Structure 1
Amino acid sequence: MRNLVIAILAVSFLFNCNSFSKEEKNRKLVLDFYKLALVDHKHREAAELYLSEDYKQHNPHAATGRKAFIDVFDEFFKILPNSSFEIKRSLADGDLVAVHVYMKPDPTHKGHAVVDIFRVEGDKVVEHWDVIQEIPENPKNENTMF
């Protein structure tokens, strides 16, 4: 009986470790993608390395697909070459990874709080959702958005 309990605990431990490492792998993949694409402004390279060809976009202002991502950020960085993205935190839950980001269109702008949610399949980002909130000039409280 004792051996059975030890075996069950070992299998449970291995399953939990495997799940954890898969989530951490997904989180690392998304953070590597985000840093290269947006922080370092190397969106073309990042798209080729990390996005699936049929990358599904849920932002209603952007088309779907890897090429559409490249086109959007070609234009974005052309219009806003001094934009910055600062990753504040990230969370992983299974195949989903959320990134909380401070985005500034230029150094003088108060910026936006952004939450990007990515779905990972295998070793590629396959889906994306986002929520973007402008940082107000006169907030009603002293708490930051980060």
Structure 2
Amino acid sequence: MRFPLTSFITVLLLSVSAMALNVARTDTADKKPPHPKVCDPNAKGKDLEKRQYDAVADFADLFLFKQDVRAAFDKYVPGEYIQHNPFAEQGRDFAIEVLTGGVASGIVSTNLTFFVGNGYGLMHYKSVFMNTTYAIVDYFRFKGTCIVEHWDVLQEITGDEPNPIAFF
């Protein structure tokens, strides 16, 4: 039964996967309308890498910590989405459906670092799901400031690794 759970976890974590559940949001009346600005697939210029860095930072915040899968995808993955996870279907709709289900299942993420350069972005973080801990890397390709392609790598952390700094 190990493989099906691993496959499910992989699909569940297929995009900048993982969030923290059980956070009650009672301050919605004080908030501005959610994320009105959308990425720009035609963005160019000297500041493009900085804008892509800002996009990954905001995407990670929306997706991993605020647990708003729909807002993250609507803002940064508004159209084309090529998926390289072998257990995932192509396109953003499948990703949104599976990842939204992950929020409801109680994924908690920490230890986020991210990098951007040459039209690509990378997020590395720790997620706990169903009492199993994973080190995850999500790797994105940009078109302008929009995420259009995704790869991921996931390693289970058992706590028995001989290298104490193996993952982070």
Counterpart mapping for 1:1-146 below 5 A? 18=46, 21-78=47-104, 80-81=105-106, 83-105=107-129, 109=131, 111-146=133-168
Deviation at 1:138, TM superposition (A): 0.9
- Runs (5+) with no aligned partner, structure 1: 1-16
**1:124 Cα deviation after fit:** 1.1
| CA radius of gyration, larger in | 1
Distance in 1 (alpha carbons) for counterparts of 2:63 and 2:97: 13
Secondary structure, in 3 states, of the residue corresponding to 1:71? Answer: helix
Deviation at 1:40, TM superposition (A): 1.4
How much does 1:110 deviate? 5.2
Q: Deviations over 1:80-128 (max 9, x none)?
A: 22x112243111121101111111115xx35111111011112311011
Q: Kindly indicate which of the two structures has a greater share of residues assigned to strand.
A: 1
Give 1:40's aligned amino acid: K
Tell me the SS of whatever aligns to 2:67. Answer: coil
Choose between structure 1 and 2 for higher RCO, CA contacts under 8 A separated by at least 6 residues: 2
Given that 1:120 and 1:127 are in contact with CA atoms closer than 8 Å, whether structure 2 keeps it comes out as yes
CA contact (8 A) 1:54 1:64 kept: no
The Cα shift of 1:132 comes to 0.3
Task: Return the offset for 1:50.
Answer: 1.0
Question: Secondary structure of 1:70's match?
Answer: helix
How high is the sequence identity, in percent, across the aligned residues?
30
Counterpart contact for 2:82–2:149, Cα < 8 Å? yes
Q: CA shift at 1:43, angstroms? A: 0.1
Task: Say whether the 8 Å CA contact 1:43–1:70 is kept in structure 2.
Answer: yes
Matched position secondary structure for 2:86 = coil
C-alpha distance in structure 2 between counterparts of 1:68 and 1:48, whole Å: 13
> Over the residues paired in the alignment, what is the CA RMSD in angstroms?
1.9
Q: 1:26-83, CA deviations, whole angstroms, 9 ceiling, x for partnerless residues?
A: 12102211220222110011111110322111111111212111111122223x22x1
- Between structures 1 and 2, the one with greater helix share: 1
Decide whether aligned partners of structure 1 residues 110 and 144 sit closer, same or farther in structure 2, where only a CA change above 3 A counts. Answer: farther
Which contiguous aligned blocks of 4+ residues in structure 1 show a shift greater than 4 angstroms?
Answer: none
